[in-house]
Amino acid sequence: MMLALGALTGVATGVLAWLLITGVHLVTQFAWADPVPAWQLVLVPTLGGLAVGVLTTYLVPEVAGGGVVTTMESLALRGGRLRRRTPFAATVATALALGTGSSGGREGPIVLIGGAVGSAVGRIPPLDEERNRSLVAAGAAAGIAATFNAPIGGMLFAIELLLGGIRRAGSLQVVVIAAVAGSVTARQLVGEDLPLFDASANLGLRAPSELLLYAGLGLAAVVVAVGFRRGEDLSRRAFTAVRQLIGGPLTVALAGLVVGVIALAVPEVLGEGSDLPAIDGERDPIQAMLDVELGVDWSVAAFLLVLLVGKLVATLVSVGAGSAVGTFAPTLFTGAALGGAFGIAASRLLGIPAVDVGAYALVGMAAVFAATARAPLTAVVIVFELTGSYDLVLPLMLAVGIGMFATELAGWESIYTHQLRRRGVIYGQPDDLDVLQTVTVGEVMHRESDSTVPESLPVEAFAEQLRRTGGHGAVVVGDDGHLVGVVTRSDLNHAGATVGEICTRQVLTATPDDPVFRAVRRMASRDVSRLPVIDHATRRVVGELRRSDVVRAYQRGIARSLGSQQRREVGKLRDLAGVRFVELVVDADSPLAGARVSDVDWPARTTLTSIRRSGEVVVPTGGTRIEAGDELITLTADGDAVRSLASPAE
């Protein structure tokens, strides 16, 4: 079933990718004259930004500034649940943004679009949270595969950035199926079966000593990554202040105006930077950079650096203002410009006659993306798939490795997880959560209601309660016990007469049936110490999960893990002198309840190996007293006789 749902997700995402590509072309043809007058370079991005701002403010805010970060946030906090309107609304917003010249790429939004498709498909059976997360990742992989015609790159993108690595990609086959289905579907609809860029001009490593130059290019890529990382922070802060003054639509329109002004000097910054409107000059700058041959001069290197800076600034303005574009494609554009300029500088300064500038542009694409997104496998493979050239595998791996090493030394994380952290979300999960999959929240949560307060409680009374008890907050409930929100000491500074008026209403929750590891992941994502536990159907508060409860859950999970290890040995010991493991629970009316181990008349050839009690493992001795509810694990030749000991006395 999961494979079928993965294929369905891939096909649907491939169709939407085709609609997005077609939509960008249609908007471009409609919005721009042929040839393009100078006034249009300013007016079209501004009006397009206004229209996109309306969509991202009132209809589909999740696509503002890309889509990768929103998809990751959904995976971290909501199990991958995305709104049903997202796929089509985001497709329209992104087509309008790129078609009118907003600087960015379609790859970020297509990740959100594909993820939302996976989320919608996951509601059909419906699926549990883990399988739904797999389908969201599968949709993202299909989106990258479809828009780039790069199924392997799409698969690796989902694994490295969304699922946290191959070791945690539990449904890898679903991601693979979706990526293939998405790529094939889009390829058939678009009608192109060729790589996105042509790098067939015999690019390759000319001499082993040239690897030193590629290592230097890897370090230079880190500088561009710094520009994306810090520039996006500055841009988002600046435009957040602007948005508070003039609103979302006018903010995106202002960003379009800035991009248009930049385009007066560098029209290549418009849109994705390829397949530009009918402007004098090159219509596909990235392809032109890959085609640069030996013999170019310093003026070309300077122009490439101007392209790099112009595209970087225009992209940061568009993304920071909240346009429906991402930073994936701009990292490739700026990487190609950096690599081309680096290759020209190397040939001129070092007097190397055999430097292939196009090869440096290609390697620069991978190096800048890897240093920015911290996804080395995706960077290397997707450049292979984009160009169809496998002759630069050593320079690619070296430059990407050097860039990753430098960012590792600096302690940087991916630009996507960095933006998530600024939203207060810590992406990923600890490595030791497996044992917590065996324990449910309902087994360890606090069921007493001492931490809940009614929403009608006056703020003064709540403040006095905190002073009296030394608490830090409480769960706010309605008259019928349903969850209203969470109120803490910091909320006392807000204006309001009752706790219902000052509480935070958008809170993370768990249900009694959730495994504890899922609740821990939610607690870690917001760095909170407790979660309200609600009934899934009625949303009534039934308890609270605290950090101390997680410790007890971990102890119980360890005990169960040890029991599982013992059960795995049953097959090995079954034929060993006719003995086997037998597990039994001591009934309250059993003669074993309250007895010492040494006083029990155990059957012949029986050994009590361990006792599980309240989630802990007790190693028994002769003086250990057995209690009602204990889980006894025995190694015996007479299982029936042992079981009869734990039964109620007749």
Which domains, and CATH codes, for the chain?
A: 2-190 (1.10.3080.10), 208-422 (1.10.3080.10), 434-553 (3.10.580.10), 569-646 (3.30.70.1450)
Sign of CA dihedral 388, 391, 397, 398: negative
pLDDT at res. 228: 92
Instruction: Indicate if the alpha-carbon torsion angle 326, 328, 329, 334 is positive or negative.
Output: positive
Q: What pLDDT score was predicted for residue 566? A: 53
DSSP state of 606: E
Burial (CB < 10 A; 0-12, 13-18, 19+), residue 259, is: buried
With a cut of 90, say whether residue 178 has pLDDT above it: yes
* Separation of alpha carbons 457 and 460, rounded Å: 8
pLDDT given for residue 84 in this prediction: 87
Confidence band of 587 (pLDDT split at 50, 70, 90): confident
* pLDDT tens figures, 437-477: 778 888 888 876 567 888 888 888 888 888 887 777 888 88
Residue percentage of the chain with pLDDT more than 70: 87
pLDDT value for 313: 95
The reported pLDDT for the residue numbered 430 is 44
Section 116-134 average pLDDT: 85
pLDDT at 485: 86
355 versus 184: which is more confidently predicted? 184
Lowest-pLDDT choice from 215-229, 251-265, 287-301: 287-301
One-letter amino acid for residue 185 of the chain: T
pLDDT (average), residues 123-146: 86
Q: Vertex 276, ends 271 and 277: CA angle to 5°? A: 110
Q: Are 361 and 288 in contact (CB under 8 A)?
A: no
pLDDT tops 60 at residue 122: yes
Which burial class, exposed, middle or buried, applies to 59 when counting CB atoms under 10 A from its CB (0-12, 13-18, 19+)? middle
pLDDT (tens digit, 9 = 90+) per residue, 371-381? 998 888 888 88
Q: Is the pLDDT of residue 575 over 50?
A: no
Mean pLDDT taken over the chain: 82
Amino acid identity of residue 76, one-letter, is A
DSSP structural state of residue 61: G
Q: Is 300 helix (H, G, I), strand (E, B) or coil?
A: helix
Distance CA 563, CA 197 (A): 57
Q: Mean pLDDT over residues 304-333, rounded?
A: 92
Q: Which amino acid is at 260?
A: G
Instruction: DSSP letter for 531, please.
Output: E
Asked if pLDDT for residue 399 goes beyond 80, the answer is: yes
DSSP 161: I
CA dist 103 and 258 (Å) reads: 10
Name the DSSP class of 37. Answer: P
Quote the tokens at residue 110. Answer: 């297509």
pLDDT (average), residues 535-554: 81
State the pLDDT confidence band at 51, using cuts at 50, 70 and 90.
very high
CA distance 35 to 559: 74
**How much is the average pLDDT of 248-262?**
94
Tell me: the pLDDT tens digits for 523-534?
877 777 788 888
Note the pLDDT tens digit of each residue in 65-113: 888 888 888 887 777 788 888 999 999 999 999 999 899 988 889 999 9
Tally of CA atoms within 13 A in the half-sphere of 185 that contains its CB: 25
Mean pLDDT for the stretch of residues 301-306: 89
For residue 558, what are its two tokens?
A: 């360890």
Pairing of the two strands 452-454 and 473-477 = parallel
CA 193 to chain CA mean position, Å: 30
Burial (0-12, 13-18, 19+ Cβ within 10 Å), 231 = middle
Residue type, position 289, single letter:
M
pLDDT-derived band of residue 26, with 50, 70 and 90 as boundaries?
very high
Q: What percent of the chain has pLDDT over 90?
A: 26
CA distance 355 to 345: 10
Dig out the tokens for 463 from the structure.
Answer: 């403040």
Give the HSE-up count for residue 32: Cα atoms under 13 Å, Cβ half-sphere.
28
Provide the sign of the torsion angle of the four alpha carbons 437, 439, 442, 444, taken in this order: negative
pLDDT number for residue 432: 45
Alpha carbon distances (Å) from 430 to 231, 338, 512, 561, 644 = 30, 37, 21, 18, 43
d(CA 364, CA 333): 9
- Cα distance between residue 23 and residue 92, in whole Å: 8
- Residue 54, pLDDT above cutoff 90: yes
What pLDDT, on the 0 to 100 scale, is given for residue 484? 85
Q: CB burial class (10 A; 0-12, 13-18, 19+) of residue 111?
A: buried
Rg (CA), the chain: 30
Show the CA angle centred on residue 14, arms to residues 12 and 16, nearest 5°: 70
Q: Which residues contact 245 (CB under 8 A, 6 or more apart)?
A: none
pLDDT, one tens digit per residue, over 491-536 is 888 888 888 888 888 788 888 888 887 888 788 777 777 888 888 7
Provide mean pLDDT across the span 331-346: 89
